[in-house]
Amino acid sequence: MLDMIKPPAETMYEEELRALREEDTGRRPPNWLLSPAAVRDFIIGREKPVKLDGREIPITRKFYGNDVLVERAVVTLAGNRGLMLVGEPGTAKTMLSELLSAAICGTSLNTIQGTAGTTEDMMKYSWNYAMLLDKGPTEAALVPSPLYKGMKEGIITRFEEITRCPAESQDSLISIMSDKVLNIPELSGGILFAKPGFNIIATANIRDKGVNEMSGALKRRFNFETIRPVNNVKMEAKIIESQARTLLDHSGVDAEVNSDVVELLATTFMELRTGITREGYKLESPQATLSTAEAVSVYVQSAMTSYYYENEHIALSRLVQNMLGTIAKENDKDLTILKSYFSKVVKERAKQDEVWQAYYEEKQWIG
């Protein structure tokens, strides 16, 4: 993992997955590496550790959210329908997709990244044109896509940001998802039948700009699960702390995560996102996406800046500076909303709390 900026889920949690596989005696769908119950435990964690090579391996919680949603997602993938994870940006759709794929088939890397330039050929298969001109259409000249590989090997294909693809490219999935067959007319007898275990996990943002509406026919091939933003400060703080610690470790930054600063950051993001304070007062919300992922980024950037420039674990001045770039990056009105939050909410809490007092003293960076 030291050679990777972002290790895939199957590498990061290799020991947990291996321990679960050795212990797992539950019923497994064809070609799955774990039973649905063990997949669920891998994602939401379990209290009792698993033994591996004489050691106890804790199975940690990796997804903080609706546990029943995770169970439904696993059961969907055990059937013949695709899984569509939708929600606002930064709600851990991609992370859940990676965890499901790693647990079910051992790899989360069989992925199509949807963009405005994604074509039907890129989704299905393409050709090595040098070989094609030399020997004609042969299987050796065919360049498989992640979808092709998923069907041939019986593994999950992840499709990130599917609604960023043009509608005509999206609809090329309809027949594949219905019949589990890919026709290759260039080859004699060119029909690829999907092996058991093949399925698609797609993700889509419901708020982001630049998306294309899915057709009704394609929607019917998926079970939709909506991942909602975390609505509990303590839980959001726990997510920020856990992910920030992991990211700082992978960046080689030897800095402890400050729980008080994490809770302050989580409170600020949640109150601005929901438009209401913990005391029950209404606020105006900025247009910027104030997701948990954005909060993690703010903390990590602030901690790294303090580590490299001030030789501190984290300075509140750096937190406010990085928060400014996240919250007020879309328009001037969001900056006014942040100023108002400091002038009213932070100022009032500063009278009773030392951390909020130190936080308020950095108001100068907002202007």
Q: Is 1 a member of any domain?
A: no
Mean pLDDT for 14-28 is 96
Q: Is 185 a member of any domain?
A: yes
| In a shared domain, residues 257 and 187 | no
| In a shared domain, residues 219 and 244 | no
| In a shared domain, residues 263 and 128 | no
| In a shared domain, residues 278 and 209 | no
CB 104 within 8 A of CB 158: no
**CATH number assigned to the domain comprising residue 61:** 3.40.50.300
pLDDT in tens, 93-146: 999 999 999 999 999 999 999 999 999 989 999 999 999 999 889 999 999 999
The pLDDT score that the predictor gives to residue 74 is 98
Indicate the residue among 226, 246, 276 that finishes a domain: 226
Three-state helix/strand/coil letters over 245-276: HHHHHHCCCCCCCCHHHHHHHHHHHHHHHHCE
| In a shared domain, residues 194 and 249 | no
| In a shared domain, residues 317 and 207 | no
Q: Is the model more confident about 171 or about 207? A: 171
**What is the domain range of residue 313?**
233-365
The pLDDT score that the predictor gives to residue 117 is 92
| In a shared domain, residues 271 and 211 | no
Q: Is 285 a member of any domain?
A: yes
Indicate the residue among 226, 242, 272 that finishes a domain: 226
Q: Is 16 a member of any domain?
A: yes
| In a shared domain, residues 237 and 126 | no
- Lowest mean pLDDT of 4-8, 133-137, 272-276, name the range: 4-8
The pLDDT score that the predictor gives to residue 88 is 87
Residue 188 confidence (pLDDT) above 70: yes
Q: Is 2 a member of any domain?
A: no
| In a shared domain, residues 248 and 340 | yes
Rounded-to-integer distance, Cα 171 and Cα 212, Å? 12
Rounded-to-integer distance, Cα 296 and Cα 300, Å? 6
| In a shared domain, residues 259 and 218 | no
Of the candidates 114, 189, 191, the residue with the CA atom closest to the CA atom of residue 148: 191
| In a shared domain, residues 190 and 89 | yes
| In a shared domain, residues 162 and 57 | yes
Residues 6+ apart with CB under 8 A from 243: 296
CB 86 within 8 A of CB 226: yes
Indicate the residue among 226, 252, 280 that finishes a domain: 226
pLDDT in tens, 319-362: 999 998 888 876 788 999 999 999 999 999 999 999 999 999 99
Q: Is 4 a member of any domain?
A: no
Total count of domains within the chain? 2
